[in-house]
Amino acid sequence: MRIATWNINSVRLRIVHVLRFIKDYNIDVICLQETKTEDRFFPINEFVNVGMGYYNLRGEKSYNGVAIFSKMPIKDQSFELWCGYKDTRHNCVTLQNNIKIHNFYVPAGGDVPDVKLNEKFNHKINFMIEMIKYFNQIKLKNTVLVGDLNIAPFENDVWSHKQLLKTVSHTPIETELLIKLINESEWIDVGRKYFPKNEKLYSWWSYRNKDWKKSNRGRRLDHIWVSKDLDSKLKSFLSCKEIRDWEKPSDHVPLILDLSI
Residue 28 DSSP label: S
Which CATH fold topology does 2-259 show?
Answer: Deoxyribonuclease I; Chain A (3.60.10)
Please give the average per-residue pLDDT across 45-70, as a whole number.
98
Does pLDDT of 20 surpass 90? Answer: yes
Q: Mean pLDDT, to the nearest integer, of 46-70? A: 98
Asked if 127 contacts 109 with a C-beta cutoff of 8 angstroms, the reply is no
Residue 30 exposed, middle or buried by CB count within 10 Å (0-12, 13-18, 19+): buried
The DSSP element (H or E) to which 194 belongs, if any, is helix 190-194
144, 230 contact by CB (below 8 A)? yes
Query: E strand or H helix at 177, and its extent?
Result: helix 172-184
Which pairs count as long-range contacts for 59-64, CB under 8 Å and 24+ apart, including other chains?
59/35, 59/88, 60/87, 60/88, 61/37, 62/36, 63/36, 63/87, 64/34, 64/35, 64/36, 64/88, 64/89, 64/105
Q: pLDDT confidence of 17, banded at 50, 70, 90?
A: very high
Average pLDDT estimate for 168-196: 98
Residue 209 in this model has a pLDDT that exceeds 90: no
Portion of the chain with pLDDT greater than 70, in percent: 100
pTM over 0.85: yes
The string of pLDDT tens digits covering residues 82-131 is 999 999 999 999 999 999 999 999 999 999 999 999 999 999 999 999 99
Question: Residues 128-165: pLDDT tens digits?
Answer: 999 999 999 999 999 999 999 999 999 999 999 999 99
C-alpha span between 245 and 231 (Å, rounded): 32
